[in-house]
Amino acid sequence: MAADPPLLALLAGALLAAALAAPAAGAASCPHTNLTANFSADLTMLQHQLRGTVRLAANGTCALELSRFDLLAASPSARFWATDGPSMADLAAGRAFSPLPLNRTFRNASLELPFARPLPRLLALYDPDTSSDFGHVFLPNGTASELDTSAAAATERAPTMFDNCIPLSGTETYRLRWTLNASAGTVEIGLEAAIGSEYYMAFGWADPKANAPAMIHADVVVAGFTEEGTPFAEDYYISDYTECTLGKDDSPVSGVCPDKVYEDGKNDSVLVYGHRRDGVSFVRYVRKLDSDDTKYDVPVGATDEMEVLWATGKLRPPDTLRQHYLPQNHGGPKDTTYGFVRLNLSETVDNCLGPLDADNKEDQERIIADRKTPLLVTSAPAVRYPNPPNPDKVIYINKKEAPLLKVERGVPVKFSVQAGHDVALYITSDPIGGNATLRNKTEVIYAGGPDAHGVLATPKELVWLPDRNTPDLVYYQSLYEQKMGWKVQVVDGGLSDMYNNSVFLDDQQVTLFWSLSADSISIAARGEKKSGYLAIGFGSGMVNSYTYVAWIGNDGVGRVKTYWIDGKSAAGIHPTSENITFVRCKSENGIITFEFTRPLKPSCSGKVECKNIIDPTTPLKVVWAMGASWSGDDLTDNNMHSVTSSRPIRVLFLRGSAEAEQDLRPVLAVHGFMMFVAWGILLPGGIMAARYLKSLKGDGWYQIHVYLQYSGIAIMFLGVLFAAAELRGFFVSSAHVKFGVLALLLAVLQPLNAKFRPSKPANGEVPSRNRILWEYLHVITGRSAIVVGIVALFTGMKHLGHRYDSENVEELTWALMLWVLSVIVIVLCLEYKEVKRRSSDRSVRGHWVLGNTEEDDSVDLLHPDGTARNSESSSSGVMEVQLEPLNR
């Protein structure tokens, strides 16, 4: 008597459930789960090319074993996650199942995950920072329904898992996976390639009757994705190396054509599953080993080693003339876009090590924002949201589901929000959105907010201007619902779009960009020639400047550091700790560009960098330098610049302009020569005349003294005015200027006190107290002025050397020293003669007229007729004695 089929099915299910519930023979069961040692389930792939099989540890310990585990590296926060279900709320309420970080790539790994509490209903690989579910597996907890689920999981595998895998291309970007079901006479094939969505994947069997591997008469399946993202797998027959040409009248069909275009052909491949994940195309289909189509299909032996072929290339979509997809000529070199392999389906092989890692993992459609065209923001049901799990309704931009939005810094982005009043658009740093403060998280909102909502009848216009401080990656989201939007890629459009002002520095080898805000300034510099590093400095030259140096390290990472430079060697370069933020540095074809933001006035004290203050109302001198290499640690003379600006550029930040600083060396040379004539010749000469020429008869010494002094003061004033006019200001900042001002004041004081000098006493009278004080003041002030003036000359030479690195400054300084020494020697000689003369004047010499050698300062040289100032000049008081010989 035949058994009732439904009764047999129930009996088989009961026996299977009992087998799953019974512990393994000879092994103690784990008290935290009802799973048996023969439990096995595959991880579903949602992101990061996740694959693997989960089992309960065979030795009865409380641990899960993972085998053939593949995963692309995730963020440091990603973990194995215990939760009750795959929804956003369940995942958010879950907990870490294992402390194992998932921030590295796993390649065909075997892991053991111990647990000390009951297993969750769902084991996921989850990133709580981005609410991303990479994939998961259901774990039954022992109820009847979940044991049934466990039984199904033991017999049904995830569509991404196969028994065998081999790489097809030499670059291992194209793989073949398969599972043979010989008893059913079928083989399930998985084609997997790191290619774009517009490319096809072809695989099939070559004509076994051919003498050499060839594509002609091959039976292949072409798989790929439609423009809507729907996977397909179609049976093709190759009759010629051309695109498919449909026959007209009596001409036959030829080329690479689907089997179904032939009168007696049909599609014998059946699509099972397909997806695009992380820039990788995956299509699974099943075909019969020996189909009924003997004309266009090649019979496949389950245990035979046969020649198979593969190819990849662009896919031409259907049009009005051809209602099917047409593979384009694959072209390219062999082992890259096409090839042949010997394959035996019955062999067990797994040569695929790890997940495919595509260069471009972003599969979402892209939208590039334009300055003039507004972006239409709506909402609609989710179909292929890129970051599962997701809500039922997501944001569409220009009718594209959660596209990747690309914007440029400095270019305004205009949104026309028509997504409904329950969708408030905003641009945020939070990848989840939905108001991060509700999750006790912080976020930066760049645009939008609770008012940015609208409908078709009354749309809301939102304008957002990304600037240089906007991060490279932000998100557009809804303020009221999590994970409705996706990524915004912020790129550098042109520096001129990102900054308000720009100027060329000296020699037009470096361009400086800047934008001012209330208390900070954003600066960018771009070299116009290839170099190993680029530096800009605030100062008249690289020496004594605050410098910012940018270079690309050996690890390929751009760096920007700040320095104070007070010397020409490596020892004169001192790192500083300036507060610079939003730092970027990149090199394109050897051209370095770097950016940073700094406060106008540093909020510190006691350090050299605290004096690096930028006053937007005052011109700032900027210089630049380039060199072959730079190091952030140990600098040597090899790091010195190979080219630098020849002069600073005066940048007026507030006005947005710049002007070249003139080469003032000719001006300063004239200034220095005039000062040398005044302080090195005329003024010392006047003092020497008053000291050593009083022996001359009359008031000649006095006239020489006054004329030389007034001439020296006049030339000194002309030199000062000449330099101040060319320098466009008089700044008491350097030591030279300070000594010069002091010498100027002392020199001006001399004619003033000469104007008010007390009267000279008559012969025989005692000088008054005021007269004595005046004489001391006049002498001390004059000689002090000479000393200070000489010091000003030397400091001026030093200042010239620091400012222009003049090569002949040292020679000029030595020449000035020799001149001063010569004058000192002359003064010493004259002083010796003066002392000797005065001692000899005390004796009486025959036939000479002895006169009073006291100075006569009564003549007023400023008076037109040179008459005496008072009565004391009317009588000279000269007494003569005539000595004659006696004639006896």
pLDDT of residue 659: 75
Q: Are 504 and 495 in contact (CB under 8 A)?
A: no
Per-position DSSP letters for 403-460, written without gaps between them:
PEEEEETTS-EEEEE-SBTT--EEEES-SS-S-GGGGT----EEEE-TT--B-SSSPE
424-438, 478-492, 820-834: least confidently modelled range = 820-834
pLDDT at 521: 95
Q: Which amino acid is at 503?
A: V
**Under 8 Å between Cβ of 512 and 505:** yes
Q: Pick the most confident of 361-375, 466-480, 635-649.
A: 466-480
Report the C-alpha gap between 816 and 797 in whole angstroms: 9
Contact yes or no for 163/180 (Cβ under 8 A): yes
Tokens of 204: 């099939």
**pLDDT reported for residue 12:** 42
- Report the mean per-residue pLDDT for the chain: 83
Classified by CATH at the fold level, domain 164-344 comes out as Immunoglobulin-like (2.60.40)
pTM attached to this predicted model: 0.61
CATH of 366-492, one of 2.60.120, 2.60.40, 3.40.50, 3.40.1800: 2.60.40
Is the per-residue pLDDT at 226 higher than 50? yes
Phi, psi (deg, nearest 5) at residue 280 = -120, 130
- Whether the pLDDT of residue 814 is over 90: the answer is no
Give 528's pLDDT tier (boundaries 50, 70, 90): confident
Give me the phi and psi of 680, to 5 degrees please: -100, -20
pLDDT at residue number 669 = 79
β-strand partners of 257: 237
Of 26-30, 262-266, 346-350, 657-661, give the range with the top mean pLDDT: 346-350
Q: Which residue has the higher pLDDT, 286 or 733?
A: 286
Give the integer Cα–Cα distance in Å for 525 and 594.
6
| pLDDT tops 90 at residue 459 | yes
Which of these ranges, 231-235, 800-804, 845-849, has the smallest mean pLDDT? 845-849
Sign of CA pseudo-dihedral 577, 580, 586, 591: negative
Domain ranges of the chain: 40-154, 164-344, 366-492, 495-660, 664-758+769-825
Q: Which residue has the tokens 């905003």?
A: 426
132-141, 675-684, 843-852: lowest mean pLDDT where?
A: 843-852
Domain 164-344 and domain 664-758+769-825, same fold? Reply is no
Q: What is the pLDDT of residues 483-510, one digit of tens each?
A: 999 999 998 877 888 888 988 888 888 9
Q: How does residue 860 score in pLDDT terms, banded at 50, 70 and 90?
A: very low
Q: Range with the lowest mean pLDDT among 213-227, 356-370, 772-786, 846-860? A: 846-860
How buried is residue 8: exposed, middle or buried, by Cβ count under 10 Å (0-12/13-18/19+)?
A: exposed
| CATH of segment(s) 495-660 | 2.60.40
pLDDT at 351 > cutoff 60: yes
Per-residue pLDDT at 252 exceeds 90: no
What is the pLDDT at residue 848? 40
- For residue 375, the number of C-alpha atoms closer than 13 Å in the C-beta half-sphere is 26
Which pLDDT belongs to residue 597? Answer: 95
Side chain identity at 386, as an amino acid letter? Answer: P
Q: How does pLDDT run across 64-87, given as a tens digit for each residue?
A: 999 999 999 999 999 999 999 999
Check whether domain 664-758+769-825 has CATH 1.20.120.1770, yes or no: yes
pLDDT at residue 191 in the model: 97
pLDDT at 873 over 50: no
Long-range contacts of 602-611 (CB under 8 A, 24+ apart): 602/578, 603/579, 604/579, 607/576, 607/577, 608/564, 608/574, 608/576, 609/546, 609/562, 609/564, 609/576, 609/577, 609/578
Kindly state the average pLDDT of the residues 409-421. Answer: 94
Q: Is the pLDDT of residue 3 over 60?
A: no
Q: Specify which of 93-107, 545-559, 652-666 reaches the highest per-range mean pLDDT.
A: 93-107
Each residue of 670-700: pLDDT tens digit?
888 888 888 888 888 888 888 888 777 777 8
Q: Confidence band (pLDDT; 50, 70, 90) for 663?
A: low
User: Residue 855's pLDDT is what?
Assistant: 45
Whether residue 107 is predicted with pLDDT greater than 90 in this model: the reply is: yes
List, in order, residues 6 or more apart from 448 with CB less than 8 Å away. Answer: 415, 424, 425, 426, 427, 462, 464, 479
pLDDT per position as a tens digit, 422-435: 999 999 999 999 99
Tell me what pLDDT residue 729 has: 57
| Helix ranges (DSSP H) in 493-534 | 495-498
pLDDT at 803 over 80: no
Residue 600 near residue 578, CB atoms below 8 Å: no
> Among residues 580, 599, 609, 596, which one has the least CA distance to residue 523?
596
3-state SS of 611-672 is HCCCCCCCCEEEEEEEECCCCCCCCCHHHCCCEECCCCEEEECCCCEEEECCCCHHHHHHHH
The residue with greater pLDDT, 705 or 866, is 705
Least confident of 52-56, 511-515, 824-828: 824-828
